[in-house]
Amino acid sequence: MDGLNVSIAFFFLVVGVCQVLRWLSKRLLSPAAHGCLAREFAGSFQLSTSCLELKMLMEIGPWGGGFGLDVVLTLLFLLSAVHGASFDGASANPTVSLQEFLLLESSLAATVAKLLAQGVGTGTGWAVTRLYWSWELTQLHFIQNLIAPECSSSIRASLPLAALVEGSCSFLFHLVLLKVRQSHPLCRVPALAATVTFLTYTAGPFTGAFFNPALATATTFHCSGSSFWDYIQVYWLGPLAGMLAALLLFQGNIPRLFQKNLLYSHKSKYKVPKAKVAVHLEDDKPQRKRKGGKSNSEPRA
């Protein structure tokens, strides 16, 4: 369990460093630079390092650390909740940034800047985690440092099934995100953390359940066993298709591409009962008669 304690301390250290980075960038940079660059870099760095360390615990922990999958899933839920509470509005996910662009919530320049910051942050997190593993602070890190150069692909299913799994994970994640994104953080954060934990538990044995192209690129693209085009289909095209399907189902359209609602008709929720309309018409008739009577009773010249 000493290795698990070191990993938990590493998680706390990473979150603390990223919080300091967010605090400094908010005071030193313009709002646009903070929102598009620093905030996304910090969120992607935090997510990348945590995911790599958790992946190591999930693969080596059961036979090298003496703890089971339940411990790792509990850590995953808690870390997902911490990420959701501390990201300060950052998505750290290219499909989420593209979704904001398609919803007309972000400009093209801001979206491109976010994607670049996410790529740099994820790559930096991978490099820092590899350096941390090279120190071999625990037996788990010693084993991971030995097997890291010979890592195998996270795709453990046929290519169509793997792309379908990643697309389905992205579809469900974005549906929940669209539903709760305007909710209070006390509701939004646990809902998203529970969704991530459930998807990782169910889809992890097939593809690793990344449903985040930047995170998958840093984590598994360098591993042998699958070609670069296989990785693109599963970890980029699959999540993008799932995001588009979720957006279309939730909105009925994609605002950036077309305004017409293809799935839902905008009908008024409130209907006036016919009986009330008839009563109003009957009430108007005497008034019209009275007005007509007055005009007829006036003396003519």
Q: How confident is the model at residue 277 (pLDDT cuts 50, 70, 90)?
A: very low
Higher-scoring residue by pLDDT: 87, 277: 87
| 282 falls within a domain | no
H helix runs in 103-227, sequence order: 108-134, 139-147, 159-180, 185-207, 213-220
pLDDT at 301 over 70: no
User: What value does the mean pLDDT take over residues 91-95?
Assistant: 95
Point out the least confidently predicted range of 15-19, 44-48, 92-96, 137-141. Answer: 137-141
Predicted model pTM: 0.85
58 closest CA partner among 126, 7, 132, 10:
7
pLDDT tens string 138-152: 999 999 988 887 888
pLDDT at 67 over 90: no
Task: Give SS3 for 90.
Answer: coil
Point out the least confidently predicted range of 112-126, 185-199, 273-287. Answer: 273-287
| 294 falls within a domain | no
What is the CATH number for 85? 1.20.1080.10
Please tell me the predicted confidence (pLDDT) of residue 170.
97
Point out the least confidently predicted range of 34-38, 118-122, 193-197. Answer: 34-38
Domain coverage including residue 194? 1-251
| 292 falls within a domain | no
The C-alpha atoms of residue 143 and residue 2 are separated, in whole angstroms, by 15
| 104 falls within a domain | yes
Distances, alpha carbon 280 to alpha carbons 19, 275, 285, in Å: 64, 9, 9
| 226 falls within a domain | yes
pLDDT at 269 over 60: no
The C-alpha atoms of residue 50 and residue 28 are separated, in whole angstroms, by 27
41 closest CA partner among 70, 59, 57, 21:
21
| 136 falls within a domain | yes
The C-alpha atoms of residue 43 and residue 152 are separated, in whole angstroms, by 27
**Count: domains in the chain:** 1
| 245 falls within a domain | yes
Mean model confidence pLDDT for the chain? 87
Task: Give SS3 for 294.
Answer: helix
| 64 falls within a domain | yes
